[in-house]
Structure 1
């Protein structure tokens, strides 16, 4: 702060005038001028934030808070359709988000099915070959043996239903197959309104992929399961998923309406459905029970069956 000597000189020194050398009386100095609440001439190094009025929010504090990011949809890597977060399958093409299994070619479709229903549901065609068109009546105690159902004993439509070719048009190899039976004993426990078809020899379906879907064909939902159970009204469109590590098979219920049941070949029929979501390992003699009358047996194919369905 500058001082004023008795001769009117402004001096930076406060004891003697640095112009004329006269002593400076500190008590005779004029009061400092005040402008805007600040002492004029005072040396201050206050920052710009210190000059803000008390209580005034800073620019950062006054900025609106960023909105929380909205959940992103689950994009199908196959068809790029956005699905709800946590979806198990793509609603458009059927891609399996859990196992990464690609959907079957919609142009191929399961053999023996014609999409003729007005609501887009598929009905069995003339060549579908329902189980029970030939052979003796099978019961749950005898019809589930895995070594007796060969290629020659399958219905005429079984080979068509087991279709599947590789990218070059050649038939895909397989080591496992599924037998689909009409089980009258299971039908009796379900109290279904629809009449049970006549039991007979099973429909044979080669399992050509490490992950296969059990369900009913739906054109409107683009659902084309590898194990087609469209003839059973108690089966959901996406009923259950079968997966394998090469030596073992696992079943997962996909939130079906009537549940998925697992039980051994010998013993009473299962009464409790497996939980939705977790995978359940299948033993060698386990059977799957779904819908109103369907029993599914997963087993290794014999060499003759591999050749017959190649």
Structure 2
């Protein structure tokens, strides 16, 4: 194994495998006195400042190329994201709040017509009912706001909810009669009631015969008789009644 001028052991005979110095062939020493060659001068690496032997091709510390090749570029350091404050989100235009749209208040239909429900002692006597008649007093006032208004008695089990309710009069059927109008005229129609529907004038004797099948037009002042004691009068609502039903 050869030895380079720097003292490295090399398995190559031409250049040192460690520092790259050329390895000279050993000269035959003559018996004459051999001149001592001056020791090589150390070379300082311009890149890292390490001391290298003279004639070294590369710096042993950092690998700097002494032959004139450019200094190896320093590897780029990885760019890590900053751990400071998070990046601000892009500014967006602030949404302008839209004022809420005011919904118009629901208005109740104007009550133009009403039904008066009276307890009529004369009709009760004529019917000969065995049920006790309630005390006579002021009439019940029922607004008529639909084109068709059912006269009868309430029944939750059968789903019957009359518009003109004769609750206490057991002589009135659940679905007794139907009142209809076209805005100016009124009709009454019996719905197959047990005791019939009667129509009579405001003055004079009580009606004796029920109305026939089908619609019968009512004239001004006529009364409707149903059940054992109920008398119904259809008339125009007064201004006070319109105002009263409008605020309910």
Q: Deviations over 1:167-216 (max 9, x none)?
A: x7543322000000000000000010111111111000010101100000
- SS of 1:298's equivalent in the other structure is strand
Q: What TM-score does the superposition give when structure 2 sets the normalisation length?
A: 0.56
The answer to whether structure 1 residue 213 and structure 2 residue 150 are counterparts is yes
Check the 8 A contact 2:111/2:245 in 1, yes or no.
no
Distance 1:183 1:259 in 2: 17
Q: Deviations over 1:190-245 (max 9, x none)?
A: 01011111111100001010110000000111000000111100000000000001
The answer to whether structure 1 residue 281 and structure 2 residue 217 are counterparts is yes
- SS of 2:242's equivalent in the other structure is helix
Q: Deviations over 1:123-175 (max 9, x none)?
A: xxxxxxxxxxxxxxxxxxxxxxxxxxxxxxxxxxxxxxxxxxxxx75433220
Q: What TM-score does the superposition give when structure 1 sets the normalisation length?
A: 0.45
Aligned residues between the structures: 142
Equivalent residues in 2 for 1:51-70 (5 A)? none
* Deviation (angstroms), 1:304: 1.1
Distance 2:212 2:167 in 1: 23
Match of 2:237 in 1: 301
Match of 1:184 in 2: 121
Distance 2:166 2:107 in 1: 26
The answer to whether structure 1 residue 172 and structure 2 residue 109 are counterparts is yes
* Deviation (angstroms), 1:309: 1.2
Q: RMSD across aligned C-alpha pairs, in angstroms?
A: 1.0
- SS of 1:307's equivalent in the other structure is helix
The answer to whether structure 1 residue 196 and structure 2 residue 133 are counterparts is yes
Distance 1:169 1:195 in 2: 43
Q: 1:238 is matched with which residue: 175, 182, 207?
A: 175
Equivalent residues in 2 for 1:131-142 (5 A)? none
The answer to whether structure 1 residue 248 and structure 2 residue 198 are counterparts is no
Structure with max Cα Rg: 2
Distance 2:167 2:109 in 1: 24
Q: Deviations over 1:243-263 (max 9, x none)?
A: 001111000000000000000
- SS of 2:175's equivalent in the other structure is coil
Distance 1:264 1:199 in 2: 21
